[in-house]
Amino acid sequence: MAAMDDVVFLLDVDNTLLDNDRLIDDLMQHLAQEFGAAGRDSYKAILEQLRVELGYVDYLGAMQRFRLANMHDARTLLMSAFLIDYPFADLIYPGALNAVAHLRQWGRTVILSDGDAVFQPRKIQRSGLWQVVEGRVLIYVHKEQMLDDVTRLYPSRHYVMVDDKLSILSAMKNAWSTQLTTVFPRQGHYALDPKNLAAYPAADITVENFSDLLKQDFSALLT
């Protein structure tokens, strides 16, 4: 059992620390250049099908299925390299790393992300975020269902969850109640979707950008 902290900051990755919408746009443009609009749309449909089946976005799994329909096209063999070797550090939102450093004065920072067991860790490692949180990285299929695991690994008197999805924040708030402060950065397509905004209660704190946390004072959580 790890020693209990006063505060632990749990940080999402996609569209919270990293501009994942930009990654998807770049991937779709690359697919269109290599395989045309029909090929791009085919991959996109496979990606969505896998998201429904698995509960997370599986880029590499979708690429494998895409290749099955294009077995004799050598270009499909290079598509995984586009994903694996992508310059993920370029996706970090401006000021995000300074904001993470700002949070450390009140508590431990931990990445808590959804995703697969290959591409998501690669993204976090290659972007430099793995090092920023000193290896404190948790990746689950549905992180909001793994809170007992989070408390076992990083026990704390209070948690702060920063996530661009109100659905995640709401589920975690229902589970942890006053032990959790929810922070909602309005970044990315989920955070800006009117349907999502209307479907869930507001977070405890709403900011326009993750870097706006530089203006937040969490000292009260230590009292």
Per residue in 191-201, pLDDT tens? 999 998 999 99
Confidence of residue 75 (pLDDT cuts 50, 70, 90): confident
pLDDT of 67 above 90: no
Residue 68 has pLDDT above 90, yes or no: no
Mean pLDDT is lowest, of 1-5, 67-71, 172-176, for 1-5
What is the rounded distance in angstroms from the CA atom of residue 180 to the CA atom of residue 183? 10
For residue 74, what pLDDT band results from cuts at 50, 70 and 90?
confident
Q: Please say whether the beta carbons of 168 and 188 come within 8 A.
A: no
Instruction: List residues bridging with 182 in a β-sheet.
Output: 161
Q: What is the spatial distance between Cα 211 and Cα 186, in angstroms, rounded to a whole number?
A: 11
The percent of residues in the chain predicted with pLDDT above 70, rounded, is 99
Asked if pLDDT for residue 2 goes beyond 70, the answer is no
Say whether pLDDT at 72 is over 90. Answer: no
Residue-wise pLDDT for 157-180, tens only, equals 999 999 999 999 999 999 999 999
Per-residue model confidence as pLDDT tens digits over 93-144? 999 999 999 999 999 999 999 999 999 999 999 999 999 999 999 999 999 9
Q: Which residues neighbour 123 within 8 Å (Cβ) at sequence distance 6 or greater?
A: 13, 18, 86, 88, 115
Provide CB contacts within 8 A for 142, sequence distance 6+: 55, 114
Full-model pTM: 0.93
